[in-house]
């Protein structure tokens, strides 16, 4: 018997039992819906976070120092690192949260003391004014570059360049305004005041430099730069537990791992509902086989072979699960576009997720269909014909 013929027979039999077919499919529909929605949402969130991490620049290394001892390296020591071939720039940062005041307005923001190179290494862009320059650092000037949110809180929407703001009582002149970076998952850089590192150290009364941004010459020299940086801090601090070096690649691979685990976890939870749907199919196919025992007997008496009956019932099961899978997929795509607009997420149904969901529902149909189909095919024609 030809496959197309078997397919036609399967559709006819499913059509004659519409309500039952639909209810059986419902299990698969819900399962596929859950799988696609969960996996796609996690994938959407992953790609968003990945994008943000990548926007940091692939050449970047971030050193965090957590030494229990007082550290002695200076801005000048760190700048010596720049002589390495693999390292393009070194930007030490001291930071602390501090209270700000301008006119009648007050706020709290992160005050970051940096060198002139910081702006380039972090890819900061300005919407007005200028960034700090070397002279600001050497002269311990009281100039500040402020984030867009800070600017709005302190000065309103008007031009703020040249205005004065007070950081813990000390007056600073605003020389630059950072471009708005929008809401970012890795910390907003809009509520910030950037001042020369020398000024900051005096303000904070500390010589320690707890964080250093280092950019490698190229993406290829990141590893080499990391080795040099590691050696430098090991020599300065004496213990590798006292500092960590984060590279974009390391963060990305960590993220990948976490999100991969999430996907598998959520996918398997949703997969369980697919499994339950499969059991529903098996159940209804078994009912169908025993209801149609006589029909099977007739078919065998007029020439159907075991394989014909097997194919017929197997195809019915797979048609049920695949149709359910397709409907679930369509609903999933619809649901995802709703979620995307509602929560401002980019959760899209990817081809691989769709293929996975459909493939899985086909497998469910075959696995849970084969026992009833085999049962039908094995019926002895004489017993089947006598069945009332």
Which residues contact other proteins by CB under 8 A? 1-2, 5, 12-13, 16, 294-295, 298-306, 308, 380-382, 385
- Please identify, using beta-carbon distances, which residue of 9 and 276 lies nearer to other proteins: 9
Minimum distance of other proteins from residue 301's CB (angstroms): 5
Minimum distance of other proteins from residue 295's CB (angstroms): 6
- Please identify, using beta-carbon distances, which residue of 84 and 292 lies nearer to other proteins: 292
Encode 356-369: b = buried (16+ Cβ within 10 Å), e = exposed. Answer: bbbebbeebbeebb
- Please identify, using beta-carbon distances, which residue of 12 and 219 lies nearer to other proteins: 12
- Please identify, using beta-carbon distances, which residue of 82 and 291 lies nearer to other proteins: 291
Minimum distance of other proteins from residue 25's CB (angstroms): 20
Taking the alpha carbons of 236, 204, 122, 144 in that order, is the dihedral positive or negative? Answer: negative
Minimum distance of other proteins from residue 267's CB (angstroms): 40
Cα angle 161, 137, 104; round to 5: 35
Minimum distance of other proteins from residue 6's CB (angstroms): 9
Phi/psi for 96 (5° steps) reads -160, 150
Contact 224, 86 (CB under 8 A): yes
Give Cα 343 to chain centroid, integer Å.
15
DSSP codes of every residue in 172-222: EEEEEEEPP----TT--SSSEEEEEHHHHHHHHT-----EEEEEESSGGGH
- Please identify, using beta-carbon distances, which residue of 202 and 375 lies nearer to other proteins: 375
- Burial class for 61, CB neighbours closer than 10 Å (0-12, 13-18, 19+): buried
């Amino acid at each position: 018997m030809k496959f197309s013929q078997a397919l036609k027979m399967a559709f006819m039999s499913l059509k004659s039992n519409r309500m039952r077919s639909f209810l059986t499919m419902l299990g698969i529909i819900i399962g596929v819906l859950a799988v696609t929605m969960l996996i796609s949402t996690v994938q959407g969130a992953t790609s968003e976070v990945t994008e943000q991490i990548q926007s940091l620049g692939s050449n970047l290394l971030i050193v965090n120092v957590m030494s229990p001892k007082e550290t002695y390296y200076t801005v000048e020591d760190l700048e010596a690192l720049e002589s390495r071939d693999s390292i393009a720039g070194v930007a030490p940062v001291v930071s602390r949260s501090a209270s700000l005041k301008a006119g009648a307005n007050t706020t709290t923001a992160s005050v970051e003391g940096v060198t002139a190179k910081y702006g380039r290494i972090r890819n900061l862009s300005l919407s007005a004014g200028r960034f700090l320059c070397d002279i600001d650092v050497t002269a311990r000037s009281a100039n500040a570059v402020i984030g867009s949110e800070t600017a709005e809180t302190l000065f309103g929407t008007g031009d703020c360049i040249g205005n004065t703001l007070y950081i813990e009582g000390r007056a600073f002149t605003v020389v630059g305004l950072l471009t708005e970076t929008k809401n970012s998952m890795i910390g907003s850089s809009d509520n910030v005041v950037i001042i020369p590192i020398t000024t900051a150290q005096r303000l904070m009364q500390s010589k320690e430099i707890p964080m250093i941004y280092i950019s490698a010459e190229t993406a290829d020299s990141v590893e080499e730069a990391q080795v040099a940086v590691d050696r430098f801090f090991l020599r300065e601090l004496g213990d590798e537990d006292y500092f960590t070096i984060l590279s974009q690649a390391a963060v990305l691979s960590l993220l990948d791992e976490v999100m991969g685990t999430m996907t598998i976890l959520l996918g398997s939870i949703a997969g369980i509902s697919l499994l339950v749907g499969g059991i529903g199919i098996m159940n209804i196919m078994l009912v169908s086989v025993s209801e149609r025992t006589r029909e099977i007997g007739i078919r065998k008496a007029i020439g159907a072979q075991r394989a014909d009956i097997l194919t017929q019932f197997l195809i019915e099961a797979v048609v049920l699960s695949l149709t359910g899978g397709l409907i679930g997929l369509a609903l999933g795509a619809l649901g995802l576009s709703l979620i995307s607009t509602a929560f401002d997420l980019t959760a899209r149904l990817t081809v691989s997720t769709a293929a996975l969901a459909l493939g899985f529902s086909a497998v469910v149909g075959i696995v849970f269909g084969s026992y009833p189909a085999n049962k039908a095919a094995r019926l002895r024609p004489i017993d089947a014909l006598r069945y009332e």
